[in-house]
Amino acid sequence: MAKLETVYGLHAVQALLKSAPHRVNEILVLQGRQDQRLQKLLAAAQAADIKVRQASRKELDKLVDGNHQGVVAMSFPGELHDEKFLYRLLDELKEDAFLLVLDGVTDPHNLGACLRTAEAAGVHAVIAPKDNSASLTPTARKVSCGAAEVLPYIPVTNLARCLRQLQEKGVWIIGTAGEAEQSVYQQDLKGPMALVMGAEGPGMRRLTRECCDGLINIPMAGEISSLNVSVATGVCLFEAVRQRR
């Protein structure tokens, strides 16, 4: 039998109930919690015929390392998102591909925030290298506010090879770099596109950079020379959204 995963926090559990109720084995709720937001979640669980059990704060704290807001879902792992899934997804798209690539983002909080932003922007999938990247930990899922339950996150073995295959499928690869001559506002971000964000500090790796069709920067007016990766991701993705509309 597959090992159960913990998904916690109101947003994340609600998103899971909405997108994949068949994955939820059981929901644990803090004893005595009866507010309106929880009632909505419990109604969704009841409609899907999912068992709900009251639990003490001690039991919930033991299950998760973070702010569970009094709600924890025990769920079966979702569909395996791998490169085959990615190429199948691209083949089935009825619109131009809109992808986000995270090259070496290792903080699960940043990963969760990037997923949340990407889902809000209408990105079709988020791609990252398997090694030296944050994985979909319960913390990343919680910070994503449910985006991790609906947006495919695809770890790949060889990122440079994956980017070249995307190019063969007609996807334009746009990387971000502080020293780029073109700004995000000057670059054409319409059409099939993958936006590549590097790790905070070192930025994109050399092989990743060599795969890019173009490089962009975010113009800075202040004294501080860089943005948090999730904030920078939001700036670039929503400029792309503006252009694509």
Q: Which residues are annotated as a binding site?
A: 198, 218, 227
**What 3-state DSSP class applies to 6?**
strand
Distance CA 233, CA 143 (A): 15
Q: At 143, which helix (H) or strand (E)?
A: helix 138-143
Q: How many CB atoms neighbour CB 103 within 10 A?
A: 25
Q: How many CB atoms neighbour CB 13 within 10 A?
A: 29
| Residues in the annotated binding site for S-adenosyl-L-methionine | 198, 218, 227
Residue 217 contacts residue 169 (beta carbons within 8 Å) = no
Distance CA 228, CA 162 (A): 25
DSSP-assigned letters across all residues of 220-245: --SS-----HHHHHHHHHHHHHHHH-
